[in-house]
Amino acid sequence: MSVTLKDVAQAARVSVSTASRALTGTGLTSERTQQRLTRIARELGYRPNPIARGLKTGQSRLVALLVHNLTNASFQVMAEVVQARLKALGYQMLLCIGGDDAQQESDTLTTLVDHRIDGLIVVPTGKNGAQLETLAKDVPIVCLVRRDDATDLETVLADDPQGAYLGTRHLIELGHKRIGLIVGRRDTTSGRERLSGYIRALRESDIPVDDTLIHAGHFVPETGATCCRALLDLPRPPSAIFVANHEATLGVLRVTAERNIAIPNDLSLLCYEDMPWFEWHRPAISIVDNGARDLANLAVDRLLHRMDAKGNGNDGVREYRVGARLVQRDSCRRFDAAKSAKSKSPPSKSSAAKSPATKPAKV
C-alpha cells in the first residue's frame, strides 16, 4: 500500500537502520549517504508511518485541544489558532468538545492519553483536578482560560480582573454611575474575577456598589435576557450595562431591541469577548477584548516549551495572564445625568423610536 522504510533501504542497498538514521537526520551517517537516502526517499514518495514511529518513541505527533463548545467565539479562534500553529510544526490537532461537563471531560481525557497525545491544552471544568494532575505526569498539559484550582498546572488566563476594570472604568469616565453588570457564575474563575474588576473600578471612583445592579448567571443567552429585563425594570434602571458574560450577550441585545431601547442613546452597552459580527452590527458594539488569539498563542508556546523540556519542567512560572483591551466602537456614549434626569421611568418606546440614527450613515 505505501512505501516503507524497508523499501527505501532496499532501493538504496543499505540496511533499514542506516536508512532510518539518514532520514531522521541524527547526523550519525556520512554526508553522502544522508543526501542519497533523502533523495531516493523523495523519489519513492516515502512517508514515515507515525503509528510505527509512535509505538517506538511513545509519541504520536498529536496534540489535543479540549474546549467546551464551538459556539463561543473565543473557542472558535482558539481552535483555529491552535490548529494552525500545530500544523506548522508537524502536529495534528485533536479537537474535543467537553460541553463544560465533568463526566465528558473525564472520559475524553482518558481516551486522549490512550491515544498517547504529545500534549494537551484544556479549558478545564474544574471538576477533574485529580485526574488532570495524574495525567500531567505523563503528558505536558496547559490549562487555558480557566484554572483548575485542584491542580498545580501551568495555566494561561485572560486578565479578567483588569478587563472588567477597564470596561467599568470606561463607562464611569463616560459619566455613568449606575452600571448594570451581567456576569458569569461565581464558581468560575472568570465570573469571580470580572466581578472583582467591576467592583474595584466602582470603589476607585467612590461609586457605591449596588447589588441590585449585579446579576450572575449561567453561560446561556437566556441569562442575558432575564438579567437585562430585571435591570431595566429597576426603579432606577442603569444608564449602562456591562455584559461580562459573553454567552449572555445575545439575550441582552434581544431585550433591548424588543423594548426599542436605542443604543447608545438610551442605554450604553459594553460587552466582553469579541465576535466577528460585533463590528458589523450597527451600532458597532464596544467590547473588552479578552485576547482569545493571544491566549491561544501563548498556550501553544507554553505547551511546546514543556514538550521540549520533557518532564524536567517543574520550574519557573506557573500562571500567565494575557492582558485585556478595551475596544471602543459605537455602543457606549457619554451620559449626562442632569439631562436624562427628566425621564424617571425606564426608556419609553416612543423615546426610543424617536431617536433615529445612532450615528450618521457612512455611505
Is residue 16 a contact point for DNA (CB under 7 A)?
yes
Which of DNA, a copy of itself, none binds 111 (CB below 5-8 Å, type-dependent)?
A: a copy of itself
The cell for 217 is 448567571
With CB under 7 A as the contact rule, the residue among 10, 15, 134, 205 that binds DNA is 15
Q: Closest distance between a copy of itself and the C-beta of residue 95, in Å?
A: 4
Is there a contact between 138 and 120 (Cβ–Cβ < 8 Å)?
no
Computed from CA positions of residues 352, 354, 355, 357, in that sequence, does the dihedral angle turn out positive or negative? Answer: positive
Is there a contact between 108 and 96 (Cβ–Cβ < 8 Å)?
yes
* Residue 16 or 220 having the CB closest to DNA: 16
The cell for 46 is 516515502
d(CA 12, CA 171): 72
d(CA 281, CA 122): 32
Which of a copy of itself, DNA, none binds 88 (CB below 5-8 Å, type-dependent)?
A: none
Q: Closest distance between a copy of itself and the C-beta of residue 85, in Å?
A: 12
Give the bridge partners for 62, in sequence order.
92
Contacts to DNA from residues 301-330, by CB under 7 A = none
* Residue 130 or 257 having the CB closest to a copy of itself: 257
* Residue 6 or 115 having the CB closest to a copy of itself: 115
Q: Closest distance between a copy of itself and the C-beta of residue 356, in Å?
A: 3
The span of 50-58, 126-134, 201-209, 280-288 binding DNA (CB under 7 A) equals: 50-58
**Residue (of 252, 246, 217) closest to 232 by Cα position:** 252
With CB under 7 A as the contact rule, the residue among 49, 212, 328, 343 that binds DNA is 49
Task: List the 214-217 sheet strands across, edge first.
Answer: 214-217, 179-184, 240-243, 268-272, 286-289, 325-327
Is residue 23 a contact point for DNA (CB under 7 A)?
yes
HSE at residue 33, side-chain half, CA atoms within 13 A, is 22
Q: Closest distance between a copy of itself and the C-beta of residue 203, in Å?
A: 33
* Residue 161 or 237 having the CB closest to a copy of itself: 237
Q: Closest distance between DNA and the C-beta of residue 55, in Å?
A: 4
